[in-house]
Structure 1
Amino acid sequence: MLDDLMPSFSEPSVLLVCLAAAVGGAVRGFAGFGGAMVFMPVASAVIDPRIAAAAFLVMDDIVALPMAFKAVRICDWRTILPAVVAAMLTVPLGAYVLAHSDPQLLRWGISLLVLCLLVLLISGWRYKGRPTMPISFGVGMTSGFLSGASQIAGPPVIAFWMSGPSQAQVIRANLIVYFAIASLGAFAAFWWNGFFTMDVARLLVVIMPANAVALFLGTRAFAFASEKTFRRVAYALIAIAAIGSLPALDGVLR
């Protein structure tokens, strides 16, 4: 049945991508981030990274939209707006890299970045004081480039907000609102580069329901989580992404 719906993909590949979408949805709903960091490494190992990135962009924006409506009331707009404006400027550059670079080389770069982020967070380093506009702008530029290149825009903003003094509820809201707004630039850049194809549409038919149900369950779970649990789960997700995105493990995933 899956072979008839999506002749471009093997059935095991589709099932693995569907599982990644479900797990990614659960962690996105719980932490406010992490969906792409779980989905993209796995999906890119078994299907074209361009198809995976375009499918995730559409899926995440549609399914996570209700979360954004609630998050706008508690997020810190003074740090979000400079980051979003900066991200809009660099998303097209990242999308250009995705369209023209060697996917294997790009995946190695993402893996190393995620590993560095994990070390930073586990080290216990914390940003002292309120984030300034130049810092927010620089973080946004880096995140925007990564969004266009891989849909993994999270590492810079996660390190930025999670290393600061804000409470888990505000961090989660910042991430949700930031991703919702910044994704508009990614949509334009992906459309310009021709990433939205019928293969993307067919893949979404299969993976979006699993992602939506899992995201709902993850959102409900956040209400019962402590601050310590929130940060532990976040660190675990980053570790999974860092290990799972290593191209050296393709023999396991393929």
Structure 2
Amino acid sequence: MPEIIATALATPGLVWLLLTIAAAGIVRGFTGFGTALIFVPVAGIFLEPAHVIALITLTGVASTAALLPRAWGQAERREVGTMGLAALVTVPVGLWLLTLLDRDTVRWIVAGVAAVTLAALIAGWRYRGQVAVPGLLAIGALAGVLGGLTGLTGPAVILFYLAGQGAAASVRANTILFLAMLDVVVVGNLLLRGAVGLDTVVLAVLLSVPYFLTSLMGQALFDPRHERLYRAAAYAVIGLALVTGLPVWE
């Protein structure tokens, strides 16, 4: 066991990973999203894509424990459950694609997905119609593929909810609940594939400590009256992580 802990402490870029996950926790706490958009581009500098996906999903358990109790009562559970069922089917597709692509290709996909998501949010794109069950299934399916391939479990659903007209508290709760469901699905698939070793679990536990604490801080800061401030702060942090994680800097 001491050797496993020593291996985790020797992880390349550990200090940056800890700082990044701490910042992501604050953003996740007051917006309900943003962890993967912040952590994955930076972690990809130091770690292989499969390792990054395992870490971000395992670490997500920490924020789920901190945020889910409040979100459960505010979320539209039937709607979120519909998307979750679709994601359950498509996560293995994303993990399969991951085995076919090299590291830099995956990093560019991460950068592209994050950039499109951020651009759409900043531009204020809005969908004013009603999404029926087929639409919810399609959104969930896309989220599953992206989650399995890149670890970015949230962009498809984030765009769906933040582009709509829902209140900040409802959007936040729905997003938290869906991401919690998808984390469970991705982790389950990784375990079935034998892709999660004890060393990864130990590192995830290490990262979970600052993440859990800062998620609680972010939740304490959340006030629906300051929705614009929260979104602006989240966009700035996501943008910084995106630019920092681009493969062109290496």
Shorter-chain TM-score above 0.5: yes
Contact 2:143 2:154 in 1 (8 A): yes
Aligned ranges 1:169-188 → 2 under 5 Å: 169-188=169-188
User: Which residue number in structure 2 is paired with residue 136 of structure 1?
Assistant: 136
Alignment-derived partner of residue 115 in structure 2: 115
- 5+ long unaligned stretches in structure 1: none
Large movers: runs of 4+ above 3 Å:
2-12
Deviation at 1:34, TM superposition (A): 0.6
Asked if residue 75 in structure 1 is aligned to residue 75 in structure 2, the reply is yes
| Contact 2:58–2:183 (8 Å) recurs in 1 | no
Contact 1:6–1:202 (8 Å) recurs in 2: no
Q: Which runs of 5+ in 2 are unaligned?
A: none
Q: Determine the structure 1 residue equivalent to 2:126.
A: 126
Indicate the larger mover: 210-219 or 163-172.
210-219
Per the alignment, residue 210 of structure 1 pairs with: 210
Counterpart of 1:47 in structure 2 is: 47
- CA positional deviation for 1:110: 1.6
Match of 2:22 in 1: 22
State the Cα distance separating 1:164 from its structure 2 match. Answer: 0.4
* Residue 11 (structure 2) pairs with residue 34 (structure 1): no
Please tell me whether the aligned partners of residues 40 and 52 of structure 2 are also in contact (alpha carbons under 8 angstroms). yes
Describe the shift of the 1:185–1:12 C-alpha distance in structure 2 as closer, same or farther (beyond 3 A).
Answer: closer
Deviates more, 1:118-127 or 1:159-168: 118-127
Alpha-carbon distance change, 9 to 150 in structure 1, aligned in 2, over 3 angstroms: farther
* Counterpart for residue 230 of structure 1: 230
Is it true that 1:192 corresponds to 2:223 in the alignment? no
Is contact 1:61–1:180 with CA below 8 Å preserved after alignment? yes
Is structure 2 residue 152 aligned with structure 1 residue 152? yes
User: Structure 1 225/206 Cα, relative in aligned 2: closer, same or farther at 3 Å?
Assistant: farther
Counterparts of 1:130 and 1:224 in 2: how far apart (Å)?
Answer: 23
Cα 1:114–1:11 shift into 2, 3 Å: closer
Query: Under a length normalisation based on structure 1, what TM-score does the superposition of the two structures give?
Result: 0.89
Contact 1:143–1:153 (8 Å) recurs in 2:
yes
1:129-156 Cα deviation digits (max 9, x unpaired): 3322222111111111111112211111
Q: CA deviation at 1:184?
A: 2.2
Percent of paired sites with the same residue: 28
